[in-house]
Amino acid sequence: MFVLTHCFLLGYPMRPRHKRSRNADSSDRSPEYGRRPPEPHGGAQMVEPEQAPRIGRNESTEERMDRNWMELIQELRVLQTGVQILGGFLLTLPFQERFELLDDWQRSLYLVNVMVAALTTVLIVLPVSVHRRLFRRGLKATLVSSADVVTKWALAGVALLIVGSATLVFDFTAGRTAGLVAAGFIILVLLLLVVGTPLWLHRRAIRNGDGYGNGIAREE
């Protein structure tokens, strides 16, 4: 009150204070203020397209090469055990007293078995030599592909060694006919189990759509 009186006496004009109403504030705003954006047609919410599910392992190329290499090494260890057992059996035969009783056919078969065992052992050791040469050169893919081929040949060598060793034993103990029959039977079993079983499992996977059995080639 004192301030008003003082201003009146001194002749200062008094300016009325205007308060902005809520209606004025709302009139100054944009017509789109506070309005929700329009929804898509039919009221459906916008949904981002889902990414296709990833098939296989979530790993880089280097990780896949390392895993494949370790799997091949494990397979070669299994083959190495079979070669060691059969090869050790063959190497001890010349030092047995009854080795002199072998005829020419049996001796030839024995030498063939020893040669197959030696070559299969070389194949099993070959990936180690290749690994030493290609170590830290960024050629893991080359190493894995070469080890894959060597493993297949080593598997064939072990199969021949099994057939030859069994044929030699049956031929020496039961006669030539028994040896040939044993050889044919073991070859049939190997074809059914070692060759036929993987093919049958692969075809069944294709029919059922299991794993990567849908016919699409993938890097494993």
**Which tokens go with 220?**
């494993």
What would the pLDDT profile of 75-99 be if each residue is shown by its tens digit? 999 999 999 999 999 999 999 988 9
At 40, which amino acid appears? P
pTM given for the model:
0.68
Contact 148, 72 (CB under 8 A): yes
Q: ∠ CA 42-43-45 to the nearest 5 degrees?
A: 120
What would the pLDDT profile of 159-173 be if each residue is shown by its tens digit? 999 999 999 999 999
> Residue 9: pLDDT above 50?
no
Confidence of residue 63 (pLDDT cuts 50, 70, 90): confident
Taking the C-alpha atoms of residue 190 and residue 155, their distance in angstroms, rounded to an integer, is 11
What would the pLDDT profile of 98-157 be if each residue is shown by its tens digit? 899 999 999 999 999 999 999 999 999 999 999 988 888 888 889 999 999 999 999 999
Domains of the chain by residue range: 65-175
- CB atoms inside a 10 Å sphere around CB 70: 10
